[in-house]
Structure 1
Amino acid sequence: MACVADKIKLIDGSREALKLFVRITYLWFIGIPGKTEQAEMVVVDSDGYEIHVVCKQDQLKSRKANLKENLTYVIHNFKVIKNDGKFRVCDHEYKLCFTGVTVVRQCDMEQLHFRKFRFVDFFSVIAGHFKIGLLVDEKPIVILLTHARIKEAQGSYPASISNSFKASKLMINDLVLEIQEFRERYFGNVSGSSQLSSKDAFLSKTEVKNISQINANSEVIKSNVSFFKQEFVCVTVSKITTIVMDNYSWCYLAWGQCYKKADMQTVPFTCLCGKENDQPVLRYRVEVMVNHKGEQTKFLIWDRESAQLIGQSADEVNRLKIEDRDVDLNASPQALDKLLGCFLAFKVKVQPRFGNFVVLKYSDESDLINVVLDMILDSEQSVSVTGDHDPLLRIPLTPTKRVSSDELDNE
């Protein structure tokens, strides 16, 4: 009669005379060899379930040579203990320890699983959706550290990189040009869209506020000198109702390989980022009035988000203006009317010192918009829902008039 193996999934601490058919998918050693060394391993059975196994110092000496990663074994008789350490390599409730009567026999069982990475999305981590203490595999991420300190190798210690106190900034998978270029070079194409399909990513490290709350918080900060430089990020929903024409144009001249403002130049040059530029390009800088439930405020939308919403670059729009014999760069093009009537979820950085509410990201996904609306309603302690919550209102409506900042001040 063929021997029936126990299932890792069913290990519950009620018995220790277990017989497992497993593959060692991960093997490592800790401690000082010959003194305090012990083996730690992860094994997997035919059903793909994993469990953490420990071979302590007193059992390792006679077994170390026989334990190999990726080989398959029949192992029986363990001590079963709770898997309640500070950090856990498996999600199983229990882990196993070798004892003096543990039997280990190598056996060819090619049907057993090899190691499979169980990736955790980075945005799930920053959104707090993870099990504390459970060690996980992370998808490839790109880290950019500014003003890094490089320490040369010394003896057995390799060269190392660390941050500079107060001077360094750490960016992880941020939507910046250098990180996107690096990901495309080494990991394939990566979308540069500012719209995030992940609700958790959009809402991470921020609060949901309605327009009235955003205005009120900004005024409180501006009125307090000690907090005047303080900025905050929030998420809201609103409809773009007006293109605001003030002392700024709808666009600005920037270097071709970055977003920094440039002076007009006609010869190739190198910008402060160290990138070569053939000629400057136009980029969007659009101020709009947004409205929700009768409350309104002014948002600043930069080039990336404007280009995505309009469907054309600022250079393309300006070329069409010139073809129509409109050579005044400060005259707002009709293409901006595509923004009017858009009902969106916005992630906004409020900068009271500059009087700006800068759009960092936006989303026209109805599911996300409804989530934000529900959160706003919860914050207002209200259960009523009005018709202007319909995300279908993103369809451009009849454009409202264009007004100057002076007209806005008089309203």
Structure 2
Amino acid sequence: MHNFNVFHNDLQFKACNHAYRLQFTVGTTLREKEFADIPKFEYAFKKFSEILVGDFHADLLVDIIGVVDQMVFSQTQASLKKIIFNIRDSSGDVITCTLWESHAMKFFNCYNNFTVSELMIVLLTHARDKEGQGKYPSTVSNSWCGSKILIDDEIPDYQKYKDSFATLTLSCDSLSQGNNELSQYSNLSDDDRFFYKAEVKSFSEIAALTSAKEITCVTIGTTAMFIVGKQREYYGGCSKCTKKADLKDVSFTCKCGTYNLSSTPS
């Protein structure tokens, strides 16, 4: 390799943790040369157990390999293609993987044409680790530029990895069962899909949240009478649980048992 630049490895996402990186210029030239002691393919796979406990750097891309454990979500008809599935490594640990665009379509096509009695092994290079939120664990996804997905016999030394996964027990008895679950999800209405596996919390539970971590949940309610103030719209409610107060400017005892001298703007 001739005529290249050397920069600090300060990219937003890095393929390795070396202090420097090499960058091509318009005048860079390459010449192929064989080195017997340097393997053509070498992967340092990230352990799923380390990802689950947060033992990773969010800006450092990783390689992962595992067997498809269960399909979770499929969005292949929309303009933005997306697949979510659970993947299990040789130690039995499971993480959730999200694939986008061409990676999602390649996986989806292979999944639909796969023999149901076989394990489907997936290798994803330069994957992004994403920190978990609330009760949801950390996940991985392909990076927009740089990731490569290899499936089954596309993987170098495929038989070696196939043997290492042979004794695993999967969440789905077969890919056929996973396809049935995915088909059921695909047939949901937009409203049902919005609530699919959602955690529902009441307003009082939301008001009582003390965790500093972000969580995602949904709530359902009717519109109360709103009062237009100088800074925002609000309604009169309980100071503890924020339930709507039927009485205005008088003391009352809320259904949650809290005594209020007057309603509190909520």
TM-score range for the pair, normalised by the shorter chain length:
0.3 to 0.5
User: TM-score with structure 2 length normalisation?
Assistant: 0.39
Which of the two has greater helix per residue?
A: 1
